[in-house]
Amino acid sequence: MGILEIDNVTLAIEGKKILDSLSIDFWEGHVHAIVGPNGAGKSTLAFTIMGLEGYRDIDGDIRYRDEPITSLDVDERARRGITLAWQEPARYEGLSVQSFIRAGAPDADSETVAEALEQVGLPPDEYMGRAVDDTLSGGERKKLELASILAMRPRFVMLDEPDSGIDVASLEKIFEGIDLLRGYGATVVLITHSMTVMQQAEHAFLLCGGALVDKGPMKKILPYFEQECIPCGHKNVPDGGGNDGDE
């Protein structure tokens, strides 16, 4: 059953078409991957689903649980259970870790916050009162953002480049968190150009030039990473059938 449907969505920014007649159906309770080269429109799609400023003036429709959400602002979409974890997590000077998590999950008590921190490998005794600032490493901030999402228990989660700027041990904790979200029944969308991250998904969509090139089980899309491209109708495809991987 589809939980969120992208129906023929086109988005242009400053006269440049970023999403091009895009239609995607995300299945409820599954882990999906959105893959493709830099500039393919992956993050733009996530920002559009979330309804961020500058990404709402679209042609087409977005439906969540069969309800149109195109006119809803970010807060209204979040209240319906849609959330986005950024490629570069934000810093909140002066805000404690516990306050940061409870800002997104106001009903979470101290026990829930501690459990979420433990689930991502951050010892609560060390982190609960710590400030969310530049003393935290990139990996710590990634895990903290995931802890906040686990505490929220959202229904539709987008993780933008979850492997960006973190070490192997931190990435394993991110993958464990993805499994926990799957166990909660959440729909997870991984925005990535990493084969390692894509392999955490059950199903993948391949974008290029803002358009859907291919979709299917994760194994079907793996050749994109092995060949750096698959044959498609993009304007940059050379005679050999592959493109330059940058658009």
Number of domains into which the chain is organized? 1
Q: Which structure tokens are listed for 184?
A: 């909660």
pLDDT (tens digit, 0 to 9) for every residue of the chain, 247 residues total?
Answer: 689 999 999 999 988 999 999 999 999 999 999 998 888 899 999 999 999 999 999 999 999 999 999 999 999 999 999 999 875 555 556 688 999 898 888 888 899 999 999 999 999 999 998 988 888 888 888 888 889 999 999 999 999 988 887 788 888 888 999 999 999 999 999 998 888 899 999 999 999 889 999 999 988 988 877 766 555 555 544 444 443 333 3
Q: Is 145 a domain residue?
A: no
Whole-structure pTM value: 0.86
Q: Which structure tokens are listed for 220?
A: 């079907």
CA 13, CA 91: separation in Å to the nearest integer?
27
Length of the chain equals: 247
CA 247, CA 238: separation in Å to the nearest integer?
13
Q: Which structure tokens are listed for 138?
A: 């990139």
Q: Is 196 a domain residue?
A: yes
Q: Is 173 a domain residue?
A: yes
CA 180, CA 117: separation in Å to the nearest integer?
13
Cβ neighbours of 184 (radius 10 Å): 14
- CATH number for position 218: 3.40.50.300
Q: Is 151 a domain residue?
A: no
Q: Is 97 a domain residue?
A: no
Q: Is 105 a domain residue?
A: no
Which runs of E-coded beta strand occur in 65-197?
67-68, 82-85, 156-160, 187-192
Range of the domain at 184: 2-86+158-227
CA 117, CA 147: separation in Å to the nearest integer?
6
